[in-house]
Every structure is written in C-alpha cells, then in structure tokens.
Amino acid sequence: MPQNPYLNVLLTALLTVVFILVSSILLASLAWLLARLFRQTAREQQNAFAGYLFAAPWITGFLIFVLVPLGFSLYWSFTDYRVTASAPPQWVGLENYRQLLLADDGFRASLLNTLYLTVLGLPLQMVVALLLAVLLNQKMRGERVFRMAFYLPVILGFNTAVLLIWRLMLNTGTGIINQLWRAAYQIPGVSELLRGIIYVQEVSAAFFLGLNNRSFNLMYKVIEAGFPEVNRVPLWVQSPLWSKMSVILLMVWGCGAMMLIFIAGLNNIPKELHEAAEVDGASPAQRFWKITLPLLTPYIFYNLVVGMISTLQIFEPIFVLYRDNQPLLSSAISMVYYLWQKSFSHFEIGYGAAISWVILVIILSVTLVQFALQNRWVHYDIY
C-alpha cells in the first residue's frame, strides 16, 4: 500500500480531530446528564455541558498521555520487561529498585554527576543571572538590546545545532575558547589567575571523581603534578576532570531566563526604599545586601525551584557533547541520559521505568524540601 506519507499524516490529524470532537461531546453529555440527575438548575446544567465540552480535549489527553502511561510505568517498574526478549513482563517485586539503588554503579555515577551540576552549576548560573539583572537595572541606553541578547542563548540553546557548535568551541586544541584562553596568557598578571582556576577546578573535580570511583589516586596525582605550568589550557571535552565543567559553562550561558525573572523582581522593589537608605548614608553594597537581596528572595526561590527541576532532568547538552565519546561519558552522564541508555538503547523497559520513578521521587522530594524550608529565608511579608 504505497501511499503518500504526508497525506497519511493529514488524514491522521483529521481523524484525531474527529476523535476529540466525539469524545468531547460524549464527556459533556455525561456531565450534563449527571447535573440533571442531581437536580441542578437549567443554568447549571448548561454550564456543566459547556465547561466539560471545552475542557474535554485536555481531560482525554490527560487520561491517554499522562495517567495511563504513569500507571503502566509504575507497573513495569516492578517487573522484568525487555522488548528484545519479546516475553511478557515478569513480576519481580522490588528487585529493580534494589539493584538500582544498591548495586548499580552506572546509576550511582549518573546520580552523583547530576547532583554535581545541581550543587555547583545551578548556583553559578543564578549568580551570573543576578549579576546581569542588577547591571541591566541601571536603566541606561541600549538596555533592551542587552536584555534580548542575554536571553537569546535560552532560545538558541534548545537547538541541537548550537549545542554542536559548543562542542567544537570547546575543542582543546583548536576550539575558540582555548584560543582565547591562550591569548589571555599574554596579558600580564592574568597568567597566575588562569593557572589558579585550572588548579582549583582540577583538584576539586578529581576529588569528586574519587568519591565516585571510591579511590582517590587521581586526586593525589593531580596534586603531585603541582601548580599548572604557563600556557596550560582547560581540557574541556577531553578529560574527565573537565567534562562536567563544560556542561556548567553551557548552563551559565543559558542563564537568560533566570535573568528576566530577576529583572522583574528588581522592578518590583519600591524606589523609595533605596532613596531613603541613600539619605541615611547606606553604601551601594549595604543597600544591595540589606534591601535588594532580601526583597528578591521570592524570585531567588522561584528560580531555584524551577532551576533544580530542570537541572535534575538535564539530557541534551550531555547527549550532544559526549554521546560518541565513550571514555568521557561515565564522568558526565546524567540520570536522564542513563534512563535513555537503559530503555531506548538496551530496551530494558522495566528497569528504565524504575529509573524514571526514582528520578520523579528525587525531584518531588527536593521540591517539597525547598517549599518546607522557604519560611526560613524567603520574605513575602514586605510586599
């Protein structure tokens, strides 16, 4: 049946619309019938019909694409289910979870890497976002152009092409970032700073890798090698000591969304507060720490919650940077990447489902903890 595939797509779209219409009308009629059974007024019956009629696409979609999948995935997470074996799911109880949490070094590594990005990358991203927002808040000429340019990476960052470009930019020998790094060595005084950055980063990354591999030999080696010599450059996508830093660099580059939220927060701070403090002789630094920062805490909280949810799910940057770089993959792999590997390249559906539920529980608990702790440091009362 060689048909035009494009025509088939259009036909399916049409069928979808018909399906939605029919299911919507059925759902709305059901609501109307129920309203009638419960002896509600004619107006209320009409409201029930119209309300369900318009909300029905989402309600059916929620059932088909969210609730039912969630149920299946929960069930599969307790089974041994491999697509390649073409056998039905075998109930194994908590075995998947036991292995995942206690015996799977691969998952352990992916969890620790993801936490590394969350604990180190996210705060860095937020600090840069806040810095840019404060600088832009000075209301000078061209402010709008700057703001849009800083937001642009968020728009571009979704794109595989741009992630690929980053990979080339980070190339140790020929990449543009290291070319600039080498050029910076010519500036007097900068050399020590650059070498210091390399040293601190390598030692701390080696310590972290040590935690992961349960052996600190690498860290001793890095310390033994001593302070980096002149003209040393970062080995971005070449060394396990730098693989996560490259991802953090990408995260910081995409801080524009957070910046826009901070700008909105800064705009909401009453001018009078700053003016009063200035009259009282407060220095700009004092005003920042005593007025700006406390009043921004709701926005910091928001960025932290949303940022953590998205960082814990990071996938694409790591996929594009390291997929075909097997030696480095284990030093950078994230939880979602590991999930992808298990389910869509090894086709261990049951095990993959268990991973996805562990990720969900981690994200949920981190978010709940943040909401529980917010009273300690977030100030809503001033508004």
Partner 1 sequence: MSEMSQPLVRHKTVQKIHLTVVQIVLTLFLITFLLPAIWMVSSSLKASTEVFAHPIVWIPERPQWNNYARIFEILPFGRFLWNTILVTGLAVLGTVISSVMVGYSFARLNWPGKNLFFGLMISTMFLPEIVTLIPRFMIFRELKWIDTFYPLIVPHWFAVNAVYIFLVNQFLRGLPIELEEAALIDGANRFQILTQIIIPLSKPVIASITVFALLQHYNAFIEPLIFLRSMDNWTMALGIRALNDTNVQNWELVFAAGTMMVAPVLLLFIFAQRYFVQGIALTGFGGR
**For residues 163-182, which are near partner 1 according to CB under 8 A?**
164-166, 168-169, 171, 174, 176, 179
Q: What minimum distance in Å lies between the beta carbon of 333 and partner 1?
A: 14
Q: Binding of partner 1 at residue 268 (CB under 8 A)?
A: no
Residues 295-314 that bind partner 1 (CB under 8 A): 302, 306, 309-310, 312-313
Q: Binding of partner 1 at residue 235 (CB under 8 A)?
A: no
The only residue of 22, 26, 33, 59 in contact with partner 1, by rule CB under 8 A: 59
Q: Which of 308, 344, 331 is nearest to 202 (CA)?
A: 331
Beta-carbon contacts of residue 287 (< 8 Å; ≥ 6 apart): 274, 277, 278
Give the ranges where 137-189 is alpha helix by DSSP (H).
Answer: 143-157, 160-169, 176-184
The only residue of 78, 107, 116, 150 in contact with partner 1, by rule CB under 8 A: 150
Q: Binding of partner 1 at residue 159 (CB under 8 A)?
A: yes
**109-133 exposure pattern, b = at least 16 Cβ within 10 A, e = fewer:** bbbebbbbbbebbbeebbebbbebb
Phi, psi (deg, nearest 5) at residue 280: -75, 0
Distance between CA atoms of residues 149 and 167, nearest Å: 21
Q: Binding of partner 1 at residue 256 (CB under 8 A)?
A: yes
> In this structure, are residues 110 and 338 in contact, taking their beta carbons and an 8 Å threshold?
yes
Q: Binding of partner 1 at residue 317 (CB under 8 A)?
A: no
Q: What minimum distance in Å lies between the beta carbon of 226 and partner 1?
A: 28
Closer to partner 1 at the Cβ: 204 or 316? 316
Residues 72-101 that bind partner 1 (CB under 8 A): 72-73, 76
Q: Binding of partner 1 at residue 260 (CB under 8 A)?
A: yes
Q: Binding of partner 1 at residue 64 (CB under 8 A)?
A: yes
Q: Binding of partner 1 at residue 318 (CB under 8 A)?
A: no
Q: What minimum distance in Å lies between the beta carbon of 217 and partner 1?
A: 33
Distance between CA atoms of residues 214 and 224, nearest Å: 19
Q: Binding of partner 1 at residue 207 (CB under 8 A)?
A: no
Binding mask 120-139 for partner 1 (x = CB under 8 A): ------------x--xx-x-
In degrees, rounded to 5, the angle at the alpha carbon of residue 121 between the alpha carbons of residues 118 and 123 is 85
Q: Which of 256, 263, 254, 255 is nearest to 299 (CA)?
A: 263
The only residue of 22, 26, 33, 68 in contact with partner 1, by rule CB under 8 A: 68
